[in-house]
Amino acid sequence: MASVDKVLGTFQALSFSFKKAEASSRDAFTLAPKTQGKLLEALNAQGAHNAMVLSTCNRTEVYWSDLETDHAHDVIQAHMAVDDDAWARAQLAVHGMEAVAHLFRVGCALESQIPGDTEIAGQLKLALRQAKDLGGDVAWLDRVVSLVLKASKRVKSETGLSSGATSVAFSAVQCMRHHLSSLEGVEVVLFGLGKLGRNTCKNLAKHA
């Protein structure tokens, strides 16, 4: 495995999240699982190492090392249905230790739309597993993610960050309970039937 300093010097992250991408255009940055796999294969084919795609309901992020920035950005943009203006306006690009710090903040749910979100750790595990399954060289990233997950556990056990509404799905139902005297008999229209929609349905069933 390459030395820590050598990999750290080329490690990068490109993030599109609710913080910079408007809700009306955020779908354009979303990558379906099959597209995520194609993107990882394309990055690996161009010589990238430690490539990983983290895709949640409110963010799409790509991590990699050992591939020049502009080249990597061209590969990533080719897999997204976005024009140049939206691409430049919505992205957050970080390098080196700043990229590692960003991954820690994301993995510890400090960058989530609902701070303390309990789902991000599982999503990060799935992203790393996908990178491994596609045969990429992710030995260095595997160690970093392991440390991120350990830090995430400490945040949850040693702080009160995750003690409240800890997911968008749960928060939506809690908001309804706050504004309505009862959820019994209430008609609910739910747009979207992906994982977020499924979790919202579960929370509705639990609290109604």
Q: Which residues are catalytic?
A: 57
First to last CA, the chain: 52
What is the Cα 29 distance to its own chain's centre? 12
**Residue 63, burial from CB neighbour count under 10 angstroms (0-12, 13-18, 19+):** buried
| Residues 6 or more apart whose Cβ sits within 8 Å of residue 19 | 92, 111
Is residue 96 within 8 A of residue 144, CB to CB? The reply is no
Burial string for 15-35 (b: 16+ CB within 10 Å, else e) reads bbbbeebeeeebebbbbeeee
Residue 81 to residues 26, 45, 61, Cα–Cα distance (Å): 11, 21, 15
